[in-house]
Amino acid sequence: MSNRPLARLALSTYRWAGAVAYPFMGAYLAMRAAKGREDSRRRDERYGFASVPRPQGPLVWFHAASVGETNAVIPLIKEIRARGIAVVVTTGTTTSAKLVSERLDASIIHQYVPMDFKPAVSRFLDYWEPDLAIIAESEIWPMTIVELGRRHIPQVLVNGRLSDRSFARWKKRLWLAEALFENLALVIAQSEVDAERFRALGALPVLVSGNLKVDTDLPPYDKGSLGTYRQQLGSRRTWAAISTFDGEEAAAAVVHAALKPRTDLLSIIVPRHPERADAIEAMLTQRGLKVARRTRRDPLNTDVDVFLGDTIGEMGLYLRLTEVAFVGRSLTAEGGQNPIEPAMLGCAILSGGNVQNFRETYQMLAKNGSAKIVRDVEMLAKGVNYLLVNEDVRHQMIDAGQQTVHEMRGALSATIRGLEPYINPLSVKARLQPHGDA
Protein backbone atom coordinates (compact mmCIF):
# COMPACT_ATOMS: atom_id res chain seq x y z
CA MET A 1 0.00 0.00 0.00
CA SER A 2 1.49 3.30 -1.06
CA ASN A 3 0.00 5.48 1.66
CA ARG A 4 -2.44 3.79 4.04
CA PRO A 5 -2.69 6.67 6.56
CA LEU A 6 -3.58 9.12 3.79
CA ALA A 7 -6.20 6.74 2.39
CA ARG A 8 -7.72 6.24 5.84
CA LEU A 9 -7.84 10.00 6.31
CA ALA A 10 -9.54 10.48 2.93
CA LEU A 11 -12.16 7.83 3.64
CA SER A 12 -12.73 9.25 7.12
CA THR A 13 -13.23 12.69 5.57
CA TYR A 14 -15.63 11.21 3.03
CA ARG A 15 -17.60 9.62 5.86
CA TRP A 16 -17.67 12.89 7.82
CA ALA A 17 -18.81 14.85 4.75
CA GLY A 18 -21.51 12.26 4.16
CA ALA A 19 -22.73 12.58 7.74
CA VAL A 20 -23.06 16.34 7.26
CA ALA A 21 -24.82 16.05 3.89
CA TYR A 22 -27.07 13.11 4.80
CA PRO A 23 -29.88 15.15 6.46
CA PHE A 24 -30.18 17.33 3.37
CA MET A 25 -30.53 14.51 0.87
CA GLY A 26 -34.32 14.66 0.98
CA ALA A 27 -34.28 17.90 -1.00
CA TYR A 28 -31.91 16.37 -3.55
CA LEU A 29 -34.11 13.31 -4.01
CA ALA A 30 -37.21 15.50 -4.31
CA MET A 31 -35.51 17.48 -7.08
CA ARG A 32 -34.67 14.26 -8.94
CA ALA A 33 -38.23 13.01 -8.47
CA ALA A 34 -39.55 16.21 -10.03
CA LYS A 35 -37.45 15.42 -13.10
CA GLY A 36 -38.75 11.84 -13.24
CA ARG A 37 -35.44 10.32 -12.14
CA GLU A 38 -36.63 9.13 -8.73
CA ASP A 39 -39.70 7.21 -7.60
CA SER A 40 -41.00 9.35 -4.75
CA ARG A 41 -43.20 6.47 -3.53
CA ARG A 42 -40.08 4.41 -2.85
CA ARG A 43 -37.78 7.11 -1.53
CA ASP A 44 -37.18 5.23 1.72
CA GLU A 45 -35.24 2.61 -0.22
CA ARG A 46 -32.62 5.26 -0.99
CA TYR A 47 -32.08 5.54 2.75
CA GLY A 48 -31.59 1.79 3.05
CA PHE A 49 -35.09 0.89 4.26
CA ALA A 50 -36.33 -2.29 2.59
CA SER A 51 -39.81 -2.37 1.06
CA VAL A 52 -40.18 -6.15 0.81
CA PRO A 53 -39.27 -9.12 3.04
CA ARG A 54 -35.89 -10.77 2.69
CA PRO A 55 -36.20 -14.37 1.46
CA GLN A 56 -34.60 -17.14 3.48
CA GLY A 57 -31.31 -18.66 2.48
CA PRO A 58 -28.32 -17.35 0.53
CA LEU A 59 -28.73 -14.09 -1.34
CA VAL A 60 -26.69 -12.28 -3.99
CA TRP A 61 -26.86 -8.53 -4.33
CA PHE A 62 -26.49 -7.18 -7.87
CA HIS A 63 -25.99 -3.48 -8.47
CA ALA A 64 -26.36 -2.00 -11.95
CA ALA A 65 -26.63 1.77 -12.07
CA SER A 66 -28.41 2.46 -15.34
CA VAL A 67 -30.20 0.82 -18.25
CA GLY A 68 -27.06 -0.28 -20.10
CA GLU A 69 -25.48 -1.94 -17.07
CA THR A 70 -28.77 -3.53 -16.04
CA ASN A 71 -29.32 -5.01 -19.49
CA ALA A 72 -25.76 -6.36 -19.52
CA VAL A 73 -26.14 -8.36 -16.29
CA ILE A 74 -29.66 -9.70 -16.86
CA PRO A 75 -28.41 -13.04 -18.30
CA LEU A 76 -26.04 -13.38 -15.33
CA ILE A 77 -28.86 -12.64 -12.89
CA LYS A 78 -31.01 -15.32 -14.53
CA GLU A 79 -28.18 -17.84 -14.32
CA ILE A 80 -27.64 -17.30 -10.60
CA ARG A 81 -31.36 -17.32 -9.84
CA ALA A 82 -31.69 -20.60 -11.76
CA ARG A 83 -29.32 -22.15 -9.22
CA GLY A 84 -31.85 -21.50 -6.47
CA ILE A 85 -30.07 -18.48 -5.01
CA ALA A 86 -32.16 -15.46 -4.07
CA VAL A 87 -31.28 -12.21 -5.85
CA VAL A 88 -31.85 -8.57 -4.97
CA VAL A 89 -31.07 -6.08 -7.75
CA THR A 90 -30.48 -2.41 -7.07
CA THR A 91 -30.52 0.31 -9.70
CA GLY A 92 -30.24 4.07 -9.58
CA THR A 93 -32.87 5.22 -12.07
CA THR A 94 -36.57 4.72 -12.69
CA THR A 95 -35.88 3.56 -16.24
CA SER A 96 -33.54 0.79 -15.09
CA ALA A 97 -36.11 -0.21 -12.46
CA LYS A 98 -38.69 -0.54 -15.23
CA LEU A 99 -36.26 -2.69 -17.22
CA VAL A 100 -35.88 -5.07 -14.26
CA SER A 101 -39.65 -5.44 -13.90
CA GLU A 102 -40.11 -6.04 -17.64
CA ARG A 103 -37.28 -8.49 -18.29
CA LEU A 104 -36.95 -10.42 -15.04
CA ASP A 105 -39.55 -12.56 -13.29
CA ALA A 106 -41.21 -11.70 -10.00
CA SER A 107 -38.79 -13.84 -7.97
CA ILE A 108 -36.08 -11.21 -8.57
CA ILE A 109 -36.32 -8.49 -5.93
CA HIS A 110 -35.72 -4.91 -7.00
CA GLN A 111 -34.72 -2.08 -4.68
CA TYR A 112 -33.36 1.36 -5.38
CA VAL A 113 -29.71 1.55 -4.44
CA PRO A 114 -29.02 3.15 -1.05
CA MET A 115 -27.19 6.45 -1.13
CA ASP A 116 -23.48 6.06 -0.52
CA PHE A 117 -23.64 7.31 3.07
CA LYS A 118 -22.86 5.07 6.02
CA PRO A 119 -26.33 5.11 7.67
CA ALA A 120 -28.07 4.14 4.42
CA VAL A 121 -25.50 1.54 3.38
CA SER A 122 -25.33 -0.03 6.84
CA ARG A 123 -29.12 -0.20 7.10
CA PHE A 124 -29.30 -1.88 3.68
CA LEU A 125 -26.61 -4.44 4.52
CA ASP A 126 -28.01 -5.14 8.00
CA TYR A 127 -31.35 -6.05 6.45
CA TRP A 128 -30.39 -7.94 3.32
CA GLU A 129 -27.22 -9.63 4.64
CA PRO A 130 -25.95 -10.51 1.14
CA ASP A 131 -23.58 -13.44 0.83
CA LEU A 132 -22.05 -11.93 -2.31
CA ALA A 133 -22.15 -8.50 -3.95
CA ILE A 134 -21.80 -8.24 -7.74
CA ILE A 135 -21.28 -4.77 -9.16
CA ALA A 136 -21.61 -4.01 -12.88
CA GLU A 137 -19.02 -2.11 -14.94
CA SER A 138 -17.36 0.78 -13.11
CA GLU A 139 -19.64 1.70 -10.23
CA ILE A 140 -17.21 2.74 -7.49
CA TRP A 141 -19.01 3.86 -4.33
CA PRO A 142 -16.39 4.30 -1.57
CA MET A 143 -18.62 3.88 1.49
CA THR A 144 -20.41 0.86 0.04
CA ILE A 145 -17.13 -0.81 -0.89
CA VAL A 146 -15.61 -0.12 2.53
CA GLU A 147 -18.70 -1.37 4.41
CA LEU A 148 -18.82 -4.57 2.38
CA GLY A 149 -15.12 -5.08 3.05
CA ARG A 150 -15.54 -4.43 6.77
CA ARG A 151 -18.23 -7.12 6.89
CA HIS A 152 -16.07 -9.55 4.86
CA ILE A 153 -18.76 -9.85 2.19
CA PRO A 154 -17.09 -10.82 -1.11
CA GLN A 155 -17.62 -8.17 -3.76
CA VAL A 156 -16.95 -8.79 -7.45
CA LEU A 157 -16.85 -6.21 -10.21
CA VAL A 158 -18.16 -7.74 -13.45
CA ASN A 159 -17.99 -6.39 -17.00
CA GLY A 160 -15.43 -4.00 -15.56
CA ARG A 161 -14.38 -1.04 -17.65
CA LEU A 162 -12.23 2.02 -16.99
CA SER A 163 -12.39 4.85 -19.50
CA ASP A 164 -9.32 6.94 -20.29
CA ARG A 165 -10.70 9.75 -18.14
CA SER A 166 -11.58 7.53 -15.16
CA PHE A 167 -8.22 5.78 -15.24
CA ALA A 168 -6.34 9.10 -15.34
CA ARG A 169 -8.42 10.40 -12.44
CA TRP A 170 -7.77 7.32 -10.30
CA LYS A 171 -4.04 7.31 -11.13
CA LYS A 172 -3.76 10.79 -9.59
CA ARG A 173 -5.16 9.29 -6.37
CA LEU A 174 -3.43 5.92 -6.49
CA TRP A 175 -3.29 5.68 -2.70
CA LEU A 176 -7.07 5.98 -2.51
CA ALA A 177 -7.65 3.61 -5.43
CA GLU A 178 -5.53 0.95 -3.75
CA ALA A 179 -7.40 1.39 -0.47
CA LEU A 180 -10.71 0.80 -2.25
CA PHE A 181 -9.79 -1.82 -4.84
CA GLU A 182 -8.10 -4.06 -2.27
CA ASN A 183 -11.63 -4.72 -0.94
CA LEU A 184 -12.67 -6.35 -4.22
CA ALA A 185 -12.45 -10.13 -4.14
CA LEU A 186 -12.31 -10.26 -7.94
CA VAL A 187 -12.50 -7.99 -10.97
CA ILE A 188 -13.76 -9.47 -14.25
CA ALA A 189 -12.81 -6.94 -16.93
CA GLN A 190 -14.15 -6.43 -20.45
CA SER A 191 -10.74 -6.30 -22.15
CA GLU A 192 -7.02 -6.74 -21.58
CA VAL A 193 -6.64 -2.96 -21.54
CA ASP A 194 -9.24 -2.65 -18.78
CA ALA A 195 -7.64 -5.52 -16.88
CA GLU A 196 -4.20 -3.88 -16.91
CA ARG A 197 -5.74 -0.62 -15.70
CA PHE A 198 -7.45 -2.32 -12.78
CA ARG A 199 -4.24 -4.12 -11.86
CA ALA A 200 -2.35 -0.83 -11.98
CA LEU A 201 -4.83 0.57 -9.45
CA GLY A 202 -4.26 -2.29 -7.03
CA ALA A 203 -7.06 -4.74 -7.92
CA LEU A 204 -6.19 -8.44 -7.65
CA PRO A 205 -7.09 -10.91 -8.99
CA VAL A 206 -8.31 -9.63 -12.38
CA LEU A 207 -9.76 -11.81 -15.15
CA VAL A 208 -10.86 -10.92 -18.69
CA SER A 209 -14.29 -12.02 -19.94
CA GLY A 210 -15.19 -9.82 -22.88
CA ASN A 211 -18.26 -7.58 -22.93
CA LEU A 212 -21.40 -9.03 -21.32
CA LYS A 213 -23.54 -6.77 -23.50
CA VAL A 214 -22.66 -8.95 -26.49
CA ASP A 215 -24.24 -11.96 -24.78
CA THR A 216 -27.58 -10.30 -24.13
CA ASP A 217 -30.77 -11.04 -26.04
CA LEU A 218 -31.83 -8.79 -28.89
CA PRO A 219 -33.44 -5.59 -27.58
CA PRO A 220 -37.22 -6.02 -27.32
CA TYR A 221 -39.76 -3.99 -29.24
CA ASP A 222 -43.48 -3.41 -29.51
CA LYS A 223 -44.63 -5.51 -32.48
CA GLY A 224 -47.76 -3.46 -33.03
CA SER A 225 -45.85 -0.17 -33.17
CA LEU A 226 -43.22 -1.62 -35.49
CA GLY A 227 -45.85 -2.90 -37.89
CA THR A 228 -47.69 0.42 -37.88
CA TYR A 229 -44.55 2.46 -38.50
CA ARG A 230 -43.36 0.18 -41.30
CA GLN A 231 -46.72 0.48 -42.99
CA GLN A 232 -46.60 4.28 -42.70
CA LEU A 233 -43.05 4.40 -44.06
CA GLY A 234 -43.77 2.30 -47.11
CA SER A 235 -40.77 2.56 -49.45
CA ARG A 236 -39.20 5.62 -47.80
CA ARG A 237 -35.52 5.38 -47.00
CA THR A 238 -34.41 5.81 -43.40
CA TRP A 239 -31.30 6.33 -41.33
CA ALA A 240 -30.91 6.81 -37.58
CA ALA A 241 -28.74 8.95 -35.35
CA ILE A 242 -28.86 7.21 -31.96
CA SER A 243 -27.56 7.99 -28.47
CA THR A 244 -26.91 11.54 -29.61
CA PHE A 245 -25.51 14.34 -27.47
CA ASP A 246 -25.83 18.11 -27.81
CA GLY A 247 -24.73 19.21 -31.28
CA GLU A 248 -25.22 15.83 -32.91
CA GLU A 249 -28.94 16.38 -33.45
CA ALA A 250 -28.06 19.55 -35.37
CA ALA A 251 -25.56 17.50 -37.37
CA ALA A 252 -28.34 15.02 -38.18
CA ALA A 253 -30.52 17.93 -39.33
CA VAL A 254 -27.75 19.07 -41.69
CA VAL A 255 -27.47 15.54 -43.07
CA HIS A 256 -31.23 15.37 -43.64
CA ALA A 257 -31.32 18.74 -45.40
CA ALA A 258 -28.43 17.68 -47.66
CA LEU A 259 -29.98 14.34 -48.64
CA LYS A 260 -33.67 15.22 -48.78
CA PRO A 261 -33.52 16.62 -52.35
CA ARG A 262 -32.01 13.34 -53.54
CA THR A 263 -34.39 10.84 -51.98
CA ASP A 264 -37.61 10.44 -50.03
CA LEU A 265 -35.94 10.30 -46.61
CA LEU A 266 -36.99 9.96 -42.98
CA SER A 267 -34.34 10.68 -40.35
CA ILE A 268 -34.68 9.00 -36.96
CA ILE A 269 -33.06 10.80 -34.03
CA VAL A 270 -32.81 9.10 -30.63
CA PRO A 271 -31.14 11.38 -28.05
CA ARG A 272 -29.21 9.81 -25.19
CA HIS A 273 -31.17 12.00 -22.77
CA PRO A 274 -34.85 12.20 -23.84
CA GLU A 275 -35.50 15.11 -21.46
CA ARG A 276 -33.80 17.25 -24.11
CA ALA A 277 -36.54 16.37 -26.63
CA ASP A 278 -38.40 19.68 -26.40
CA ALA A 279 -35.25 21.67 -27.13
CA ILE A 280 -34.31 19.30 -29.96
CA GLU A 281 -37.74 19.58 -31.54
CA ALA A 282 -37.58 23.39 -31.32
CA MET A 283 -34.19 23.37 -33.06
CA LEU A 284 -35.43 21.04 -35.82
CA THR A 285 -38.62 23.04 -36.34
CA GLN A 286 -36.61 26.24 -36.58
CA ARG A 287 -34.68 24.62 -39.42
CA GLY A 288 -37.93 23.99 -41.27
CA LEU A 289 -38.19 20.27 -40.48
CA LYS A 290 -41.43 18.61 -39.48
CA VAL A 291 -41.05 16.39 -36.40
CA ALA A 292 -43.04 13.36 -35.23
CA ARG A 293 -42.45 12.26 -31.64
CA ARG A 294 -42.78 8.79 -30.22
CA THR A 295 -44.22 10.04 -26.92
CA ARG A 296 -47.05 11.78 -28.81
CA ARG A 297 -47.67 8.72 -30.98
CA ASP A 298 -47.44 10.99 -34.02
CA PRO A 299 -47.91 9.13 -37.32
CA LEU A 300 -45.00 9.01 -39.75
CA ASN A 301 -46.84 10.77 -42.54
CA THR A 302 -45.14 11.49 -45.87
CA ASP A 303 -44.44 15.10 -44.86
CA VAL A 304 -42.59 14.14 -41.68
CA ASP A 305 -38.83 14.78 -41.87
CA VAL A 306 -37.67 13.55 -38.45
CA PHE A 307 -38.95 10.83 -36.16
CA LEU A 308 -37.80 11.87 -32.68
CA GLY A 309 -37.37 8.83 -30.45
CA ASP A 310 -37.91 10.55 -27.12
CA THR A 311 -38.33 7.42 -25.02
CA ILE A 312 -35.96 5.14 -23.11
CA GLY A 313 -35.78 1.39 -23.57
CA GLU A 314 -37.11 1.31 -27.14
CA MET A 315 -33.88 1.18 -29.11
CA GLY A 316 -35.03 -2.19 -30.40
CA LEU A 317 -37.95 -0.44 -32.09
CA TYR A 318 -36.00 2.45 -33.59
CA LEU A 319 -33.17 0.31 -34.97
CA ARG A 320 -35.57 -2.12 -36.59
CA LEU A 321 -36.85 0.77 -38.72
CA THR A 322 -33.53 1.28 -40.49
CA GLU A 323 -30.35 -0.34 -41.79
CA VAL A 324 -28.02 2.65 -41.32
CA ALA A 325 -27.13 3.97 -37.87
CA PHE A 326 -24.85 6.74 -36.68
CA VAL A 327 -23.85 6.15 -33.05
CA GLY A 328 -23.50 9.37 -31.10
CA ARG A 329 -21.37 10.89 -28.36
CA SER A 330 -18.62 10.59 -30.93
CA LEU A 331 -18.83 13.65 -33.21
CA THR A 332 -19.49 16.69 -31.01
CA ALA A 333 -19.04 14.86 -27.70
CA GLU A 334 -16.37 12.44 -26.46
CA GLY A 335 -16.29 8.84 -25.32
CA GLY A 336 -18.67 7.19 -27.77
CA GLN A 337 -21.65 4.95 -27.10
CA ASN A 338 -21.90 1.19 -27.41
CA PRO A 339 -22.29 0.08 -31.08
CA ILE A 340 -23.22 -3.50 -30.19
CA GLU A 341 -27.01 -3.07 -30.40
CA PRO A 342 -27.05 -1.62 -33.95
CA ALA A 343 -24.64 -4.36 -35.05
CA MET A 344 -26.85 -7.04 -33.50
CA LEU A 345 -29.98 -5.60 -35.12
CA GLY A 346 -28.59 -5.42 -38.65
CA CYS A 347 -27.36 -1.89 -39.16
CA ALA A 348 -24.34 -0.60 -41.04
CA ILE A 349 -22.60 1.62 -38.46
CA LEU A 350 -21.17 5.12 -38.76
CA SER A 351 -19.49 6.97 -35.91
CA GLY A 352 -17.42 10.00 -35.14
CA GLY A 353 -13.83 9.49 -34.08
CA ASN A 354 -14.23 10.13 -30.34
CA VAL A 355 -14.94 6.55 -29.25
CA GLN A 356 -12.41 6.14 -26.44
CA ASN A 357 -14.84 4.33 -24.13
CA PHE A 358 -15.50 1.62 -26.73
CA ARG A 359 -12.17 1.61 -28.53
CA GLU A 360 -11.70 -2.17 -28.65
CA THR A 361 -15.26 -2.81 -29.84
CA TYR A 362 -14.96 -0.28 -32.65
CA GLN A 363 -11.57 -1.68 -33.64
CA MET A 364 -13.09 -5.14 -34.07
CA LEU A 365 -16.08 -3.83 -36.00
CA ALA A 366 -13.93 -1.63 -38.24
CA LYS A 367 -11.43 -4.43 -38.85
CA ASN A 368 -14.24 -6.65 -40.14
CA GLY A 369 -15.68 -3.83 -42.26
CA SER A 370 -18.89 -3.29 -40.32
CA ALA A 371 -18.23 0.23 -38.96
CA LYS A 372 -16.89 3.39 -40.59
CA ILE A 373 -15.47 6.44 -38.81
CA VAL A 374 -16.41 9.91 -40.08
CA ARG A 375 -14.47 13.10 -39.35
CA ASP A 376 -17.20 15.71 -39.62
CA VAL A 377 -20.78 16.44 -40.64
CA GLU A 378 -19.96 16.60 -44.34
CA MET A 379 -18.34 13.18 -44.22
CA LEU A 380 -21.31 11.85 -42.23
CA ALA A 381 -23.73 13.07 -44.92
CA LYS A 382 -21.65 11.43 -47.64
CA GLY A 383 -21.46 8.20 -45.64
CA VAL A 384 -25.20 8.05 -45.05
CA ASN A 385 -25.91 8.76 -48.71
CA TYR A 386 -23.40 6.17 -49.91
CA LEU A 387 -24.90 3.45 -47.72
CA LEU A 388 -28.47 4.31 -48.67
CA VAL A 389 -27.83 4.10 -52.41
CA ASN A 390 -25.41 1.14 -52.38
CA GLU A 391 -27.44 -1.80 -51.15
CA ASP A 392 -24.69 -4.38 -51.68
CA VAL A 393 -22.17 -2.42 -49.62
CA ARG A 394 -24.75 -1.78 -46.90
CA HIS A 395 -25.62 -5.45 -46.60
CA GLN A 396 -21.95 -6.45 -46.59
CA MET A 397 -21.43 -4.16 -43.60
CA ILE A 398 -24.53 -5.55 -41.89
CA ASP A 399 -23.40 -9.15 -42.38
CA ALA A 400 -19.91 -8.30 -41.14
CA GLY A 401 -21.34 -6.65 -38.02
CA GLN A 402 -23.47 -9.63 -37.11
CA GLN A 403 -20.53 -11.97 -37.68
CA THR A 404 -18.35 -9.79 -35.46
CA VAL A 405 -20.93 -9.89 -32.67
CA HIS A 406 -21.04 -13.67 -32.98
CA GLU A 407 -17.25 -13.85 -32.67
CA MET A 408 -17.30 -11.59 -29.60
CA ARG A 409 -19.73 -13.78 -27.66
CA GLY A 410 -18.58 -15.82 -24.68
CA ALA A 411 -18.40 -13.20 -21.93
CA LEU A 412 -21.29 -14.74 -19.98
CA SER A 413 -19.70 -18.18 -19.72
CA ALA A 414 -16.31 -16.64 -18.86
CA THR A 415 -17.91 -14.53 -16.14
CA ILE A 416 -19.72 -17.52 -14.65
CA ARG A 417 -16.47 -19.50 -14.58
CA GLY A 418 -14.83 -16.67 -12.66
CA LEU A 419 -17.74 -16.54 -10.20
CA GLU A 420 -17.95 -20.31 -9.61
CA PRO A 421 -15.87 -20.28 -6.36
CA TYR A 422 -18.38 -17.81 -4.89
CA ILE A 423 -21.58 -19.20 -6.43
CA ASN A 424 -21.09 -22.94 -5.89
CA PRO A 425 -21.15 -22.84 -2.06
CA LEU A 426 -24.30 -20.72 -2.20
CA SER A 427 -25.94 -23.20 -4.59
CA VAL A 428 -25.24 -26.02 -2.13
CA LYS A 429 -26.57 -23.94 0.75
CA ALA A 430 -29.71 -23.10 -1.26
CA ARG A 431 -30.39 -26.78 -1.96
CA LEU A 432 -30.23 -27.52 1.77
CA GLN A 433 -32.98 -24.99 2.47
CA PRO A 434 -36.28 -26.55 3.65
CA HIS A 435 -38.61 -27.25 0.68
CA GLY A 436 -35.89 -25.90 -1.65
CA ASP A 437 -36.85 -22.29 -0.85
CA ALA A 438 -34.27 -19.69 -1.81
Q: Which architecture, in CATH terms, is 223-408?
A: 3-Layer(aba) Sandwich (3.40)
Given a cut of 80, is residue 18 above it in pLDDT? no
DSSP code, position 324: E
Res 24: pLDDT: 72
Phi, psi of 5 (to 5 degrees): -60, -40
Res 4: pLDDT: 61
d(CA 202, CA 15): 22
Given a cut of 90, is residue 147 above it in pLDDT? yes
Res 317: pLDDT: 98
Q: What mean pLDDT, rounded, does the chain reach?
A: 92
Question: Which one from 38, 45, 69, 249 is the annotated catalytic residue?
Answer: 69
Band of residue 19 on the pLDDT scale cut at 50, 70, 90: low
Which residues sit opposite 110 in a β-bridge? Answer: 89
Strands (E), 245-332: 265-271, 291-293, 306-308, 324-327
Taking only the tens place, the pLDDT of each residue in 416-426 is 999 999 999 99
Identify whether the C-beta of residue 38 lies closer than 8 Å to the C-beta of residue 46: yes
Identify whether the C-beta of residue 351 lies closer than 8 Å to the C-beta of residue 266: no
Band of residue 1 on the pLDDT scale cut at 50, 70, 90: very low
Average pLDDT rounded to a whole number, residues 7-31 = 69
Residue 238 Cα distances to 2, 167, 306, 371, angstroms: 56, 38, 10, 18
Res 436: pLDDT: 46
More confident residue, 46 or 37: 46
Given a cut of 70, is residue 197 above it in pLDDT? yes
Q: Which residues contact 225 (CB under 8 A, 6 or more apart)?
A: 317
| Residue 369 backbone zone (phi > 0: left; psi -120 to 50: alpha; other: beta) | left
Judge whether 178 counts as a catalytic residue. no
In this chain, the answer to whether the domains covering 32-215+410-432 and 223-408 adopt an identical fold is yes
Q: Burial level of 17, CB count in 10 A (0-12/13-18/19+)?
A: exposed
Q: Which of 36-45, 166-175, 208-217, 317-326 has the lowest mean pLDDT?
A: 36-45
More confident residue, 39 or 44: 44
Residue 390 Cα distances to 386, 395, 396, angstroms: 6, 9, 10
Q: Which of 54-68, 224-238, 379-393 has the lowest mean pLDDT?
A: 54-68
Given a cut of 70, is residue 9 above it in pLDDT? no
Closest Cα to residue 362, out of 408, 411, 409? 408
Residue 404 Cα distances to 194, 339, 370, 373, angstroms: 20, 11, 8, 17
Res 39: pLDDT: 85
Q: Which residues contact 292 (CB under 8 A, 6 or more apart)?
A: 298, 299, 300, 301, 304, 306, 307, 308
Taking only the tens place, the pLDDT of each residue in 123-135 is 999 999 999 999 9
Which residues sit opposite 62 in a β-bridge? Answer: 89, 134
Res 25: pLDDT: 73
Closest Cα to residue 102, out of 83, 81, 74, 76? 74
Q: Which residues contact 84 (CB under 8 A, 6 or more apart)?
A: 57, 427, 430, 431, 433, 436, 438
More confident residue, 350 or 179: 350
What's the CATH fold of domain 32-215+410-432? Rossmann fold (3.40.50)
Omega of the bond leading into 205 within 30 degrees of 0 (cis): yes
pTM: predicted TM-score of the whole model, two decimal places: 0.88
Q: Any idea where the domains of the chain sit in the sequence?
A: 32-215+410-432, 223-408
Average pLDDT rounded to a whole number, residues 7-16 = 66
Given a cut of 70, is residue 3 above it in pLDDT? no
Given a cut of 70, is residue 235 above it in pLDDT? yes
d(CA 240, CA 416): 35
Res 333: pLDDT: 87
Share of residues in the chain with pLDDT > 70 (%): 93
Res 138: pLDDT: 72
Res 2: pLDDT: 47
Given a cut of 80, is residue 28 above it in pLDDT? no
Taking only the tens place, the pLDDT of each residue in 256-288 is 999 999 999 999 999 999 999 999 999 999 999
Band of residue 438 on the pLDDT scale cut at 50, 70, 90: very low
Taking only the tens place, the pLDDT of each residue in 241-258 is 999 999 999 999 999 999
Band of residue 104 on the pLDDT scale cut at 50, 70, 90: very high
